[in-house]
Structure 1
Amino acid sequence: MKKLTLSLLVLLSANSFAQDINTQALKACSMIENDFKRLVCYDQIIAGKSIDISTAKTPVMVEQSKAINKEEKFGLEHKNISANSDSEQIALVKKVKKAPHGELVITLANGQVWRQIGTDNFRVKADNEVTIMRGALNSFLLKKMGSNKTIRVKRVK
């Protein structure tokens, strides 16, 4: 009986130690559009501090030492967080070679190197014009001009 009353007493006293959360301040934080500032606002409310969003610092992104234009960034979004590029690119094929497992490795005139994912049959040779476009789930498709067939590719460099 003593254990039951003791545990009941502990459960009832836990509410007395809890702080009251300002629901109006929480609603004010939910109106903030910037994710980082909204999180800082919530943290300040939980810590019992006053809300001051203007002093919140945004995280510093690592800057690239060299400025890269859109053509150089295309297909490298997974390697560079701040890259935003167009949905397709047209280029001229400079060189085509086969990888050990039969995939094509295509070098474009602009210096980009793309590797075929899979071993589907696809005919492309030097001086062909190709279009590289975005596919589903951050993938890329390569299509030869004048053809409807596409292959899935990834950028090597």
Structure 2
Amino acid sequence: MIKLFGLGSVVGCITLAALWAPNANAQEISQQQLRNCAAIENPLQRLVCYDKLAAGEALPAATQGSASGSQNAGNVEAEFGREHLDDPTSDRPDKILVKIADAQRNFFGKWEILLTNGQRWEQTDSRTVPLPDDADYYIERGVLNSFFLGRVGDEARRIRVRRVEE
């Protein structure tokens, strides 16, 4: 009988500690924090902000300091090919026209391409396609964050590329 009483006491204490622990770490959510989350225009980013508030995590500095939420709407072309690193937005182009400043083959015979806008791209597939200097080129979005470099007017010959971070 004493063993059962002791076991019940231990179970009761553990249950009480488990119920008390989340309340000990909870923080007060201020009206300003809720307003900052409500001011975010992108629905996915707004939901992430509310989730972080509910979990008691610290909000990013961009949502705490400003209520605009659209500071990352700068130059869309400069961020082309880097979207998988950031939160998705709905205003991304599917194709951009580019000019090649320099194109060289690496040790493996794949193209390393420098564009006039300063972006660096490298070939990821094994196709052999010439890249003449006097042609106009485009980079087009594929599925699952893939990108293709092709010549304008020659849609059949294109190579798979990825953007190289500097």
Normalising by structure 2, we get a TM-score of: 0.57
- Contact 2:53–2:59 under 8 Å retained in 1: no
Q: Kindly state the Cα deviation for residue 120 of structure 1 after the two structures are TM-superposed.
A: 1.8
SS in 1 for 2:155: coil
- TM-score calculated relative to the size of structure 1: 0.60
- Give the letter aligned to residue 59 of structure 1: P
* Code of the aligned partner of 1:114: W
Over the residues paired in the alignment, what is the CA RMSD in angstroms?
A: 3.6
Q: 2:159 aligns with which of 136, 151, 156?
A: 151
Unaligned ranges ≥5, structure 1: 22-31, 44-56, 62-66
Superposed displacement of residue 77, structure 1: 3.5
| Alpha-carbon distance in structure 2 between the residues aligned to 1:104 and 1:135 | 19
How is 1:1-157 mapped onto 2 (pairs within 5 angstroms)? Answer: 2-12=2-12, 14-15=14-15, 18=19, 34-41=47-54, 43=56, 58-61=59-62, 69-77=75-83, 81=86, 85-145=92-152, 146-156=154-164
Larger radius of gyration: 1
Question: CA separation in 2, counterparts of 1:73 and 1:39?
Answer: 26
Aligned-pair identity in percent equals: 27
**Relative to 1, partners in 2 of residues 1:39 and 1:147: Cα closer, same or farther, differing over 3 Å?**
closer
Residue-pair matches, total = 129
Indicate how the Cα distance of structure 1 residues 135 and 3 shifts in structure 2: closer, same or farther if over 3 A, else same.
farther
Unpaired runs of at least 5, structure 2: 23-37, 39-45, 63-72
Displacement of 1:88 in angstroms is: 1.4
Note if contact 1:93-1:125 (Cα within 8 Å) is conserved in structure 2.
Answer: no
Residue 152 of structure 1: CA displacement? 1.3
